[in-house]
Structure 1
Amino acid sequence: MRIAALQMHAIAGDGEANIERIASAAADAASGGAKLLVVPELAVPGYGAGEAAFGRLASPATGDVAARLGAIARDNTLAIVAGFAEREGAHVYNSALFTDGIGTNAVYRKSHLYGDYERAAFRAAAPASIMVEIGGIRLGMLICYDVEFPENVRRLALAGADLVIVPTALPKGASGTFIANHMIQVRAFENQVFVAYVNHCGADDHFTYAGLSRIAAPDGKLLAEAAAEGETLLFAEIRPEDYAKSRSENTYLVDLARQG
């Protein structure tokens, strides 16, 4: 299955403009043969929108944002994973929506909030294994800081994930560079899964983003990578059968099960 990942310069607080940008990327992804488009953490409101804007722009899991992203997916015959602010009652979650536009929707809520900025705006969810299947590929979702806790990726791998999707808002800096250039490949290798880590680029009033989006394979190699600056639409082929040799040499999951 071919996937696309948009390293995106979202406009903070402008959900309309960001949805239009996702629609444009979906058309380009479909033209490139992709069956899945991934965009960053809080791509719809913009990560730097701020607490008040998140509350204003938050949408229920079955609300307007889901309906509009579903229509984009349907019109382009692909699935979309996009970060959005999700409202449930009095609570707002930092969430990622999977939609194929034809009846399959799933929402993952971030479990590990990062810093005072996120904790002021969002409610943390309990760790969860939200899984969907597309094109014969089992897909699990995390958001940004979640992937930095190895048990989260391991939980999805043990649940049978082939591909872990990670919309992120990684800030520019030494730690961000290390995460993008080393940790993502290690997470793929140690769990024998594909990892798509999809970041913002540019800056807003609150943050400057690292870019450096990555799609890593089970053998730890990068299938696609973006530079630190600028919007980029990455493409990668997700074919688990190509990595049988890697799985035979790096039997972490099998050996973990034997010990259990």
Structure 2
Amino acid sequence: MKLAIWQTGGFLGDPAANIAAIEQTARTASAAGATLLLCPECWLGGYNIPELCAELAEPRNGPWATRIADIAKKHNVAIIYGYAERDPDSGAIYNAVQAISPNGNSLVNYRKTHLFGDFERGLYRPGDGFAAPFELAGWRVGLLICYDVEFPETVRSLALAGANLILIPTALTGEYACVPDIIVPARAVENQVFIAYCNHAGAEGDMRFIGKSRLAGPDDSAIVAAGGGEALLIATITRETIAATAAIFPYRSERRPALYAAIAQPERTRRD
């Protein structure tokens, strides 16, 4: 499968401008043969918009979602985008990512389970579970958002649920360069999955994003990787790569789950 990772600065607080931009990007990705187009975290309205977050939040089937579905169908490409989701029943706002199929249907909506710092915890309610992997072009695809991937249990949970490709919109600043450089490749190898990690470019207010979006392979390869600026990465993944590396990195088959029960327990503070 060929996929596209869109590292973009976007238009802060302007969903209409972002929709216009994704129309052109979807056209380009589709012309290149991509099956899916991955956008950054909170791409639709922007990430660093605390004063506008509640105003721009919409339900998963809101008007902007409808426009994105039309674009996906028009260009025959799945679109996976980050946005602020408002629950229509409770009114709660979530940092979410939605996958729209090439025929314009919603495949799955995932709400970020590990919120980062006081900034996110002041804006969003955390999701209460992982979304089951969905089927796309013969692949089992899982979704996480940014900080989620920094917990090894998250990727392992999706891999054990059958995912062989994990898509991760993110909003990462420079002090966390170890995440795309070290953590993301390690998660791909230890779980024998492909990981597409899609960051913002440029700055939003006092936040400067590092870029460094990439597609990490189960064989410790950076299949494609971006610098700090705008980029549309397009690359092909194959299940044969996973099969070829499983014997080299047999972590999945040689697990001993009976030894790991303590991992699921809350950490205890030591008292001397």
TM-score norm. by structure 2 comes to 0.91
Q: Which has the higher helix share?
A: 1
2:43–2:82: 8 Å Cα contact kept in structure 1? yes
Q: Find out whether 1:33 has 2:29 as its counterpart.
A: no
What is the deviation of 1:73? 0.5
Q: CA RMSD in A?
A: 1.4
Q: Find out whether 1:178 has 2:149 as its counterpart.
A: no
Q: Spell out the pairing of 1:154-169 with structure 2 (5 A cutoff).
A: 154-169=156-171
Residue 240 of structure 1 is matched in structure 2 by 239
Distance in 1 between the 2:26 and 2:179 partners? Answer: 27
Unaligned runs of 5+ in 2: 260-272
Residue 136 of structure 2 is matched in structure 1 by 134
Q: Counterpart of 1:108 in 2: which secondary structure? A: strand
Match of 1:251, as an amino acid?
P
Q: Find out whether 1:197 has 2:197 as its counterpart.
A: yes
What is the deviation of 1:171? 0.8
Q: Spell out the pairing of 1:1-260 with structure 2 (5 A cutoff).
A: 1-50=1-50, 52-88=51-87, 89-100=90-101, 101-173=103-175, 176-228=176-228, 230-256=229-255
Identity %: 39
Match of 2:213, as an amino acid?
S
What is the deviation of 1:247? 0.6
Distance in 1 between the 2:242 and 2:120 partners? Answer: 37
Distance in 2 between the 1:256 and 1:62 partners? Answer: 40
Relative to structure 1, is the Cα distance of residues 169 and 160 closer, same or farther in structure 2, using a 3 angstrom cutoff? Answer: same
Unaligned runs of 5+ in 1: none
Q: How many residues align?
A: 256
1:169–1:199: 8 Å Cα contact kept in structure 2? yes
Q: Counterpart of 2:48 in 1: which secondary structure? A: helix
Distance in 1 between the 2:77 and 2:121 partners? Answer: 33
What is the deviation of 1:65? 2.3
TM-score norm. by structure 1 comes to 0.95
For 1:10-49, what per-residue CA distance to the aligned partner results, in whole angstroms no more than 9, with x for missing partners? 2221111112212221111011110100000000011112
Relative to structure 1, is the Cα distance of residues 70 and 257 closer, same or farther in structure 2, using a 3 angstrom cutoff? Answer: farther
Distance in 2 between the 1:118 and 1:80 partners? Answer: 24
1:43–1:82: 8 Å Cα contact kept in structure 2? yes
Distance in 2 between the 1:85 and 1:258 partners? Answer: 36
Q: Which has the larger radius of gyration?
A: 2
1:129–1:159: 8 Å Cα contact kept in structure 2? no
